Every structure is written in structure tokens, then in C-alpha cells.
Amino acid sequence: MNRTALVAGASGLLFGAGLAIGGMTNPARVRGFLDVFGDWDPTLAFVIGGALIVMALAWPIQRRMSAPLFTGSFALPDKSDLTPRLVAGSALFGVGWGIAGLCPGPGFAALAIEPAKAAAFVAAMLAGMVLARLVAGRR
């Protein structure tokens, strides 16, 4: 294991714990958050808020660093164009998120909670990713 993989593993561990504690691995709670016109459950607003507060502090630190702590250089997205593909893809994702109350992170994390259904979700998600490569090309 190199240092990048160790950092990524530690990050994934923390991320998965945060998802489970925050209720994101419970699809009923996620759908409750999206049910703003019905029986709204605001819990996820606190999850998103907590994560945004920490990351809002991390970005200014990143801008002052010339390189990451444990690897050679930063590799961050630099695209700024708003494309139909960005919006259409995000809309499709949102429909899927609303149907089952799962997005990618909780899908993987839930393998430790509801293995059969989480595995089915992950398998279908990978199939969708293959489909994306077929319709939009390799990237």
C-alpha cells in the first residue's frame, strides 16, 4: 500500500462512519428528507450542513498549500462549463436517488448494513456506469 491508498482508505473509513451515523444509510430517512411537500425529515440538512462547514474551512487551507501532505501534487477538477450533459446527468441521478433513497456513498456503505439490497444497488449502479461509457464515450 502506498501513501495515497492509505490516506484514501482512512478517508473512506471516516466517510462510511459519517454516513451511517448521519442516517444516510437509511433510505427511509433519505426519502423523508426529499419529501418536502409531505412528511419532511430535516435530518439530512444537518448532515450536509456539517460536511459543508468542515469543507468550507478546508478549501482556504488547500489554497495556501503548494502540495498535499502525503502525495506529490493536487489533482482537482478544473472544468467550469455548464453543459446540458451536466444537467441531464444530474437530473437522472436525482430521479434514481428519489426512487430508492440511495446515492453512491450510502450504497457502498450499506453493504455492511443490508448486504443483499446494497449489493443489488451497487451492481445496478455499475451497470449504469457502463451504460454511461457506451452513450458518452470513455472518460
Minimum CB separation of residue 35 from another protein in Å reads 5
Q: Which of residues 68-97 bind another protein (CB under 8 A)?
A: 68-77, 79-82, 85-97
Q: Which of residues 90-129 bind another protein (CB under 8 A)?
A: 90-105, 107-114, 117-118, 120-129
Task: In angstroms, give the least distance from the CB of 22 to another protein.
Answer: 2
Site for another protein contains 66 (CB under 8 A) = no
Using DSSP, state whether 102 is helix, strand or coil: coil
Spatial distance between the Cα atoms of 94 and 88, rounded to a whole number of angstroms: 10
- Kindly give, in sequence order, each residue whose CB lies less than 8 Å from that of residue 28, ignoring residues fewer than 6 positions away: 101
CA distance 56 to 83: 25
Min separation Cβ 94 and another protein, Å: 3
Contact characters 35-54, another protein, x per CB under 8 A = xxxx-xxxxxxxxxxxxxxx
Confirm if 105 and 15 have CB atoms less than 8 A apart. yes
Binding mask 1-30 for another protein (x = CB under 8 A): xxxxxxxxxxxxxxxxxxxxxxxxxxxxx-
Is residue 73 within 8 Å of residue 67, measured between CB atoms?
A: yes
CA distance 133 to 129: 6
Q: Minimal distance in Å, beta carbon 39 to another protein?
A: 8
